Structure 1
Amino acid sequence: MTLEKNEVINQLLNKNLKIIQRPDFFNFSLDSLLISNFVSLTRGTKKIVDLGTGNGAIPLFLSQRTESKITGFEIQEISANLAKKNINLNNLSEQIDVIHDDMKNWKDYFENGSQDVVITNPPFFKFHGNENQLNDLDQLTLARHEISIDLDSLIEVSSKLLKDKGYFAMVHRPDRFLEIVDTMRKYGIAPKKVQFCHSKIDKPAKILLIEGIRNGKDALNILPPLIAHDENGQYSKEILELFNDYNKS
């Protein structure tokens, strides 16, 4: 496989997984690993869609948990091409596909209610027209700010993709928790579990993981907080155990 300028290959936790990344594009973070571990996968899970897959980190992680068919949507051509390379690099082309398109065009690829799971690590930040908010690189702007899609549209698309009783899982910012819950319920996704993740035990939550069920009953389970680092700044026991689980895969 020939690498383009700025592309580098890194280990992806598991000794059997590698990932091609570019420093000038959005790279995978702990968020991708956490949401991949958080989402519920059952014996009935056959089809999974990752909205905004980037370079394909979430599908790669999910491939260690399930043999289900996984499709990633990615609007940026370079990121989509990186994801395709990563699938081939890890010999996962029979399990994972990548669609280079706007997720709003999902009807061109899927039937309504056809997916068992929709998962996403979306742009976190609202855009109010202030260009000072934006990153210098357009590709990072799209990955971090709600330019190409906002929270409402993202959850609407997710709801339409999901089958009855299908699972929706997302990583996002705690300061948008109430908005997320309201929007999920607006589109018929009942929030079922949430976990707040903290960089350290004495710090405010930095991200949240949330899962809901399409046409599910109201019953929200708030899980114990997840602490990423100990007092010395090293990864916590919970995170190291998660790494170990993937290294055993």
Structure 2
Amino acid sequence: MNEPNLKPGERLDGLPSQAVTIIQNPDMFAYSLDAVLLAYFANPNKKGRGLSVDLGAGTGAVGLFYAKKVPGQVQLVEIQEDLAKMAKRSVALNEMEDRVSVIHSDMQAVFDQIKPGSVDTVLCNPPYFPVKETTKQNVDEHYQIARHEVAIDLPKLAQTANKLLKNKGKFFLVHRPERLADIFAALTARGLQVKHVQFVYGKSDREANMVLVEAIKQGRPGGVRVLPPIVAYTKDNQYTKQVQNILYGAPWTLES
């Protein structure tokens, strides 16, 4: 691993199972368990040999964690210049410049750099909260764009993913369970058929607080499968064995 050369306010966070280290600045934005679980959940076609794109990449966590389990090229698209530069430095820090690149762009305007219909896999950890008059938004611009649908909403995200993907390409998304109806509606209306859903629970006796979704472009309607749940914490607020293995266990492998 190269030297990190951190700037003021920055820190290093890592994912031991994937041997990846991410440069972050908590005052701007920092990834959390949802990014890890999205990268873990994604099971691309062709064992990941094709092109994969992480939309709204932030500091690059999802794309870099995912890139360690696939052999193909991975492109990280991020609208915020500060975060895109940080992601680029994390790519260099992990010595992955040969397979991972960063594009500073609005994802809806990236088609002059990524040819429509050329992508095998799209991943996204998007803003979770719709913008309404009653919505309490983050004052900080970095968090506002990351958490609220200021720059893009679900229908536009689905349309962007559809335009990037090849037919039968896969779209992987992490979101909030209360938005599930919106997610299904947005994806289905734009030719992305949901095939797998997996719920994530903070604790086993609580409601799900995350949902992982896989959709296929021009897939057959119906046939949605709900996978076994992921439970993050024990009653004693420790990671469950399942999550400990994801974070600290052996490097991830793809399903056959």
User: What amino acid sits opposite 2:120 in the alignment?
Assistant: D
- For 2:46, what is the secondary structure of its paired residue? coil
* Alignment deviations for residues 151-170 of structure 1 (CA, whole Å, 9 cap, x no partner): 11011100110100000000
Is structure 2 residue 81 aligned with structure 1 residue 81?
no
2:104 is matched with: 100
User: What amino acid sits opposite 1:161 in the alignment?
Assistant: L
Q: Say which of 16, 22, 40 aligns to 1:13.
A: 16
Distance change >3 Å, CA 95–CA 233, structure 1 → 2: same
User: Do 1:64 and 1:246's aligned partners in 2 also have CA atoms closer than 8 Å?
Assistant: no
Is structure 2 residue 239 aligned with structure 1 residue 231?
no
User: What amino acid sits opposite 2:128 in the alignment?
Assistant: F
User: Do 2:18 and 2:65's aligned partners in 1 also have CA atoms closer than 8 Å?
Assistant: no
Moved beyond 6 Å, runs of 4+:
none
User: What amino acid sits opposite 2:69 in the alignment?
Assistant: R
Is structure 2 residue 72 aligned with structure 1 residue 59?
no
Distance change >3 Å, CA 18–CA 44, structure 1 → 2: closer
Q: Which runs of structure 2 are paired with 1:84-233 in the superposition (5 Å)?
A: 84-130=88-134, 133-218=136-221, 219-233=223-237
Cα distance in 1 for partners of 2:142, 2:231 equals 30
Cα distance in 1 for partners of 2:178, 2:57 equals 23
Cα distance in 2 for partners of 1:16, 1:120 equals 21
| Structure 1, unaligned runs of 5 or more | none
Higher relative contact order (CA 8 A, sep 6+): 2
Aligned length: 248
The alignment's C-alpha RMSD in Å is 1.6
Cα distance in 1 for partners of 2:18, 2:100 equals 19
- For 2:115, what is the secondary structure of its paired residue? coil
Give the deviation of 1:2 after TM superposition: 3.1
Cα distance in 2 for partners of 1:15, 1:153 equals 32
User: Do 1:122 and 1:171's aligned partners in 2 also have CA atoms closer than 8 Å?
Assistant: yes
Cα distance in 2 for partners of 1:188, 1:73 equals 22
**Which 10-residue stretch deviates more, 72-81 or 41-50?**
41-50
- For 1:85, what is the secondary structure of its paired residue? helix
User: Do 1:20 and 1:86's aligned partners in 2 also have CA atoms closer than 8 Å?
Assistant: yes
Q: When the two structures are superposed, what TM-score results if normalisation uses the length of structure 1?
A: 0.95
| Aligned-residue identity in percent | 35
Cα distance in 2 for partners of 1:32, 1:25 equals 16
Cα distance in 2 for partners of 1:247, 1:211 equals 22
**Which 10-residue stretch deviates more, 41-50 or 228-237?**
41-50
Is structure 2 residue 56 aligned with structure 1 residue 25?
no
Cα distance in 2 for partners of 1:202, 1:29 equals 22
| Structure 2, unaligned runs of 5 or more | none
Q: When the two structures are superposed, what TM-score results if normalisation uses the length of structure 2?
A: 0.92
Cα distance in 2 for partners of 1:32, 1:67 equals 20
* Alignment deviations for residues 62-93 of structure 1 (CA, whole Å, 9 cap, x no partner): 12211110001100011000000000000001
